[in-house]
Chain A
Amino acid sequence: MSEKRPARSAAEWVTFAVSVLILLVLVGLIATEAGEPDRPALPRVVETGPVERHGERFLVPVKIRNEGGATAESVQIVAELTIGAEVTEADQTVEFLARDETAEVAFVFDEDPATGTLDVRVAGFTVP
């Protein structure tokens, strides 16, 4: 088992060269990311709708994007539908939203949101 290792073959040198290249690319990519300025997490609602009707229910897809520089955890999204004097509230949580990441959630209402005003916003998140 403990035979002396023969000299490295050309094939082994190719593996080594490619390996070094891969690690250099990896470290290079990490370095480019390190150059980004440090900003706090800033998850925001970037797109609401269009409303989809499914039978008796109305589905409102909502896109949330973290436009800050850090990760946000447990991002809470609150939707408030006001029709006349009646206010319906719904909330959703996105477990994890990294920098520049976009998540999609959907709210379901019994009434058509078009008949009232719908306000969707990020209520808060945990700083990891």
Chain B
Amino acid sequence: MPASTATDAGPWRGEATDLVRAVSGGMLFGIPLLYTMEVWWIGSETQTARMVGVLAFMFVPVFLLTRTAGFRTTKDIRWRDAAIDSIETVAIAVVSVFLLLVLLREITAATPLEEALGKIVYEATPFAIGSAIAQHVLRRGRAEGDDDSGESADDDDIHATVVDVGATTIGAVFVAFNVAPTDEIPMLAAAMPAAWLIALVLASLVISYCIVFVAGFSDQEKRHNQPGILQHPITETVASYLVSLCVAGGMLWFFQRLAAEDPVTVTLSHVVVLGLPAAVGGAAGRLAA
């Protein structure tokens, strides 16, 4: 099927884009707390009555934010639309957080149901708030400023690539710096078998791709016109992920969390675990650049 514009793409494609945008926004705001063991513990020891309370409370900020921002490109003028979108936002947060907790092995087949529910409800709160402002945070396409450089000379390409690498680095530091020195990184890494690390790498790539190339852009044309030498979306995603991993490694080194005598596999697992928040930040950074 040829590439189509947003309008002929039909409502299904547009809806999928909106949902990906909601998940992307949630990631940005929710990832630091997904990497906080205290939140897992608070979730674990929460009584069921309180879980219902938290779930109900979640709707208040989500509803208010959906009225002004939301995850859709349309504006919710009517209360009813905002209410429906709020329900969707919370449901998206619940599902996304569940999948992320499984990915991080905080929910496994051995986790008791009540504990899993508590973790989901608490982690879903920041995620839902992030989803509810997704449209505001992720709408700005970075290509707008760069597009008028019509004669894409080599200098421009290199400049654009430097800007992209810089933006990825800054974004990665912005989101992952407050996670880097914490004990959660070795804790999560220790519980992860090799297959899980590979899944984490793939998830990081998919999430980073979605943030930049699905959620951030409303029209197909712009996203392919970004100048730079790494500009195929897949190439850019992989290259930026590698930059994010380097930044993650650098941050771990900065906080003296890497020791020369550690086995390479241990170092690598720590870098990959921190690589997810770094990749999310890096992707957001490229949107803002």
Contact = CB atoms under 8 A, between A and B. Distances in A.
Interface of A: 1-6, 8-12, 14-16, 18-20, 22-23, 26-27, 29-34, 36, 70-71, 73, 96, 98-102, 128
Contacts of A99: 112, 114-115
A26 B45 contact: no
Nearest to B40: A96
B87 A23 contact: yes
Interface of B: 11-12, 14-15, 19, 41, 44-45, 48-49, 51-52, 55, 74-78, 81, 84, 87-88, 90-92, 94-95, 110-115, 117, 120-121
23 contacts: A2-B77, A6-B74, A8-B81, A9-B11, A9-B14, A11-B12, A19-B90, A20-B87, A22-B94, A22-B95, A23-B55, A23-B87, A23-B94, A27-B55, A29-B117, A30-B51, A31-B48, A32-B113, A71-B115, A73-B45, A98-B111, A101-B112, A128-B45
A11 B74 contact: no
A10 B45 CA distance: 40
Nearest to B115: A98
B61 to A, nearest CB: 17
Q: Which 8 A-B pairs have the closest CB atoms?
A: A19-B91, A9-B11, A11-B15, A34-B48, A98-B115, A71-B45, A11-B11, A22-B91
Given A23-B87, A30-B51, A99-B112, A12 B11 contact: yes
A95 B275 CA distance: 27
Given A5-B81, A8-B81, 11 more contacts: A6-B74, A9-B15, A12-B15, A15-B15, A19-B92, A22-B94, A30-B55, A36-B114, A71-B44, A71-B115, A96-B44
B95 to A, nearest CB: 6
Binding site secondary structure of chain B = helix
A19 to B, nearest CB: 3
B24 to A, nearest CB: 16
A123 to B, nearest CB: 21
Contact of A16 (B74, B78, B84, B95): B84
A5 B76 CA distance: 6
A2 B75 contact: yes
Given A5-B77, A9-B15, A12-B11, A100 B112 contact: yes
Nearest to A70: B45
B81 to A, nearest CB: 6
A105 to B, nearest CB: 14
